[in-house]
């Protein structure tokens, strides 16, 4: 893909706080008055649709140490008994939730995220998978995925997770430059990544993927170019290239990051544009906002055929209308509602020890929410928006939102082609900004330090 021409004025104008739109409405809009009773009602709505397949996300928050850059809900520990206690609580959560969904519902997508899922020892991982197998009918031909940290991974571990039924794995890389790694508190020689990658390939994982992060301290185009080349040389099936969100006021561990070393917005834009150019030149398709996949990967095929889907776990080819989240801070999207569990480990465990579901917030979608969510998802996945989205809505506010998207044609971000608004190559770099025009809640949250900058 040819580099786009962008001015500093455009970067300055569009570089503003905004959601990543893994959900709509976004989490800050959700209400703490959405309680256990409301969650049970949502589960009952799912139970009334027994043919709907499920996606299940399990949050495993534990790490040996907390990285300075990390934006995940993670807990550092050295003790197995802390994990064992947590699994006791997840078992309790499952024992309450699973029966409310109906007997052994079919699961077509299972994801272990964290934290560091491969921090669990074999007995703990086997126990957790056993609990899930007992509660659900997991489709072993579906997407059974986990995230792995190469610093603690091994060939033996890769073989073990294959025996549990995992068929997809994502390895956290971030950046291979020693100075960048030191600045983010994550020393990871590339040899570790390459060794675990080779082991996963040898064990027959159907998809072995890498996660990179741009916008980290001391990244330059030259240094990040080496990271990109090293990643391409491994030939992963998919790559994610995430924007670093520096929010130390919300994530105290990020106060350890030397903010003076962060790249300027202009450099950060150049870093991602470099990633787009190198990955596409190497045979990868640019998927949605920040993912890349080999041209023959099913994700690329789905993108070309406009049947891509997106949820809290990322882009996917599998339409599972109900997403169940398990574990602390996990998010569910089911029964027409969003729901999140308690993000504090102690309070999560205390609630379940008392026999309560640890719900901390949620949101029941209105008809307007559904329309806007569908429009945002269409933009994020298909890079276009049918004009009928506005006409079918039949309300002036939605029409005005669509008109605001169209107005970005003056800057070259979109084009109107027949009955569609199409995102241009330049517009892809500002996809979050385009989605923000469709957000009816943003004016109520924009002045709070909730979101990272869009560049």
What 3 state SS string does 217-229 have? CCCCHHHHHHHHH
Mean pLDDT of 194-218: 99
State both tokens at 62: 């534990």
The burial of 184, by beta-carbon neighbours within 10 Å (0-12 exposed, 13-18 middle, 19 or more buried), is given as buried
Give the pLDDT score at 395. 83
Q: Answer yes or no: do 86 and 148 share one domain.
A: yes
User: Does the structure show a pLDDT above 90 at 313?
Assistant: no
Q: Answer yes or no: do 160 and 221 share one domain.
A: yes
Give the pLDDT score at 320. 76
DSSP letter at 409 equals: G
**In sequence order, what DSSP letters do the residues of 365-434 get, joined into one string?**
PPHHHHHHHHHHHHHHHHSEEETHHHHHH--HHHHHHHHHHHHGGGGTSEEEETTEEEE-HHHHTTHHHH
Q: Answer yes or no: do 251 and 111 share one domain.
A: yes
332 domain-assigned: no
Give the percent of the chain with pLDDT over 90.
91
Give the pLDDT score at 311. 85
Mean pLDDT of 269-290: 98
User: Does the structure show a pLDDT above 60 at 209?
Assistant: yes
pLDDT, tens digit (0-9, with 9 covering 90-100), for 353-399? 898 999 999 999 999 999 999 999 999 999 999 988 766 666 889 99
Where does the pLDDT of residue 449 fall: very low under 50, low under 70, confident under 90, or very high at 90 and above?
A: low
Residue 351: strand, helix, or coil: helix
Give the percent of the chain with pLDDT over 70.
97
H helix or E strand, kind and range, residue 392: helix 388-393
Give the pLDDT score at 18. 94
Could you tell me the residue range of the domain that residue 18 belongs to?
1-24+367-455
Q: Answer yes or no: do 124 and 2 share one domain.
A: no
Q: Give me the number of domains the chain comprises.
A: 2
Q: Answer yes or no: do 19 and 107 share one domain.
A: no
Give the pLDDT score at 446. 52
Give the pLDDT score at 91. 98
425 domain-assigned: yes
User: Does the structure show a pLDDT above 70 at 332?
Assistant: yes
316 domain-assigned: yes
Give the pLDDT score at 90. 97
DSSP letter at 260 equals: G
Give the pLDDT score at 1. 83
pLDDT, tens digit (0-9, with 9 covering 90-100), for 161-180? 999 999 999 999 999 999 99
pLDDT, tens digit (0-9, with 9 covering 90-100), for 85-104? 999 999 999 999 999 999 89
Q: Answer yes or no: do 14 and 58 share one domain.
A: no
CATH code assigned at 9: 1.10.10.920
**pTM higher than 0.75 for the full model?**
yes
Chain centroid to CA 133: how far? 24
346 domain-assigned: no
């Amino acid at each position: 893909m040819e580099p786009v021409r962008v001015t500093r004025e455009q970067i300055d104008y569009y570089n503003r706080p905004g959601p990543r739109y893994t959900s709509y409405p976004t989490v800050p809009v959700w209400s703490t008055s959405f309680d256990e009773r409301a969650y049970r009602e949502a589960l009952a709505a799912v139970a009334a649709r027994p043919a709907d397949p499920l996606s299940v996300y399990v949050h495993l928050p534990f790490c040996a140490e907390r990285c300075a850059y990390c934006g995940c809900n993670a807990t550092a520990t050295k003790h197995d008994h802390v994990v064992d206690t947590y699994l006791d609580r997840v078992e309790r959560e499952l024992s309450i939730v699973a029966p409310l969904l109906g007997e052994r519902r079919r699961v077509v997508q299972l994801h272990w995220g964290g934290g560091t899922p491969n921090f669990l020892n074999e007995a703990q991982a086997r126990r957790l998978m056993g609990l899930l197998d007992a509660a659900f009918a997991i489709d072993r031909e579906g997407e059974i995925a986990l995230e792995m940290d190469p610093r603690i991974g091994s060939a033996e571990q890769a073989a073990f997770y294959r025996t549990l039924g995992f068929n997809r794995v994502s390895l956290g890389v971030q950046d291979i430059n020693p100075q960048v790694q030191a600045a983010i508190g994550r020393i990871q020689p590339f040899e570790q990544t390459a060794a675990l990658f080779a082991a996963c390939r040898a064990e027959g994982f159907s998809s072995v993927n890498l996660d990179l992060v741009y916008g980290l301290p001391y990244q330059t185009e030259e240094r990040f170019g080496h990271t990109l080349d090293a990643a391409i040389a491994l030939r992963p099936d998919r790559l994610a290239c995430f924007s670093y969100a520096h929010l130390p006021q919300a994530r105290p561990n990020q106060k350890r990051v030397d903010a003076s070393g962060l790249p300027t917005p202009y450099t950060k834009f150049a870093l991602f544009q470099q990633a787009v150019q190198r990955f596409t030149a190497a045979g990868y398709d640019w998927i949605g906002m920040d993912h890349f996949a080999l041209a023959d990967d099913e994700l690329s095929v789905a993108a070309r055929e406009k049947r891509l889907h997106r949820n809290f776990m990322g882009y996917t080819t599998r339409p599972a209308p109900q997403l169940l989240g398990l574990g602390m801070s996990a998010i569910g999207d089911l029964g027409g509602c969003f729901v999140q569990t308690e993000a504090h480990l102690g309070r999560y465990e205390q609630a379940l020890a008392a026999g309560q579901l640890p719900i901390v917030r949620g949101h029941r979608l209105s008809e307007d929410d559904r329309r806007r969510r569908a429009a945002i998802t269409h933009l994020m996945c298909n890079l276009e928006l049918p004009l009928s989205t506005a006409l079918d809505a039949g309300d002036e506010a939605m029409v005005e939102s669509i008109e605001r998207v169209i107005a970005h044609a003056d800057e070259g971000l979109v084009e109107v082609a027949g009955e569609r608004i199409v995102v241009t190559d330049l517009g892809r770099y500002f996809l979050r900004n385009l989605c923000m025009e469709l957000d009816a809640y943003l004016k109520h949250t924009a002045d709070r330090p909730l979101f990272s900058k869009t560049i």
